[in-house]
């Protein structure tokens, strides 16, 4: 299987902007304005502008200055969205048979109860889920090891104590346990060798809802 030697690195929020531009153009036959993108994505106009700047730098969006409806997806962006759509359809089709239950205690009666097992069956709407592979060991005490795959659900807010994917400085994503008080957001590692991260402007990208590990 061939791999892309120059993969596109894109954040979930940037992907959401791309997908909304494409969807808006299909629905209306013209491009959305910054304000329309901000309203649909429930973010501020400056935040949308920052994402558009990043997408332009990655050659995914073209924009003519001085025009409100000048956002155009590049061929590179269209290929990326087609690839993501294809992968999503494949993931939705790939389900495993769940045959019942197994005891981790003293044993239970073996009753076959076959049903489909897939991400959407366990974690909800497939469209809101995505997977990230963990790099690093800051969350080992939460059972998340280097190389594990974590199942994430898109979210803009989180409750104290939840495991989240947080975006720092609009570019660096990290998995940590989330706490918020009146002054700061505190992103706590689950490894005493790492220090907490204090931030006033981090953005919650997703809540971690599951984990997959190859044994």
In CATH, the number for domain 120-212 is 2.10.109.10
Catalytic residue among 138, 153, 199, 200: 138
Q: Which of 31, 176, 199, 200 is catalytic?
A: 176
Per CATH, 12-90 and 120-212 having the same topology is answered: no
The pLDDT tens digits for 13-47 are 889 999 999 989 888 888 999 999 999 888 899 99
pLDDT band at 125 (very low <50, low <70, confident <90, very high): low
Average pLDDT, the chain: 83
User: What gap in Å lies between CA 158 and CA 164, rounded to an integer?
Assistant: 7
Q: What is the DSSP letter of 32?
A: P
The residue behind tokens 């954040």 is: 11
pLDDT at site 1? 41
Q: Is 12-90 a domain of CATH 3.40.462.40?
A: no
Instruction: Tell me the domain boundaries of the chain.
Output: 12-90, 120-212
pLDDT digits (tens, 9 = 90+) for 157-186: 899 999 999 988 777 889 999 999 888 899
- 176 belongs to the catalytic site: yes
d(C-alpha 109, C-alpha 211), whole Å: 27
What integer pLDDT is reported at residue 197 of this predicted model? 92
């Amino acid at each position: 299987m061939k791999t892309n030697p120059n993969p596109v690195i894109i954040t979930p929020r940037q992907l959401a902007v791309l997908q909304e531009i494409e969807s808006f153009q299909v629905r209306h036959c013209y491009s959305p304005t910054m304000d329309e993108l901000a309203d649909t994505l429930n973010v501020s106009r400056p935040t949308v502008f920052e994402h558009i700047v990043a997408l332009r730098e990655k050659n995914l969006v073209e924009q003519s200055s001085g025009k409100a409806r000048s956002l155009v997806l590049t061929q590179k962006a269209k290929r990326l969205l087609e690839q993501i759509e294809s992968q999503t359809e494949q993931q939705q089709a790939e389900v495993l048979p769940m045959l019942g239950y197994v005891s981790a205690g003293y044993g239970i009666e073996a009753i076959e109860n076959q049903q489909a097992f897939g991400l959407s069956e366990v974690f909800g709407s497939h469209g809101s889920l995505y997977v990230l592979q963990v790099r690093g060991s800051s969350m080992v005490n939460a059972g998340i090891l280097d190389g594990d795959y974590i199942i994430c659900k898109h979210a803009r807010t989180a409750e104290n104590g939840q495991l989240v994917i947080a975006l720092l400085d609009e570019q660096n994503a990290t998995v940590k346990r989330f706490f918020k008080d009146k002054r700061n957001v505190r992103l706590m590692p689950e490894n005493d060798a790492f220090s907490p991260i204090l931030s006033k402007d981090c953005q919650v990208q997703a809540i971690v809802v599951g984990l997959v590990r190859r044994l």
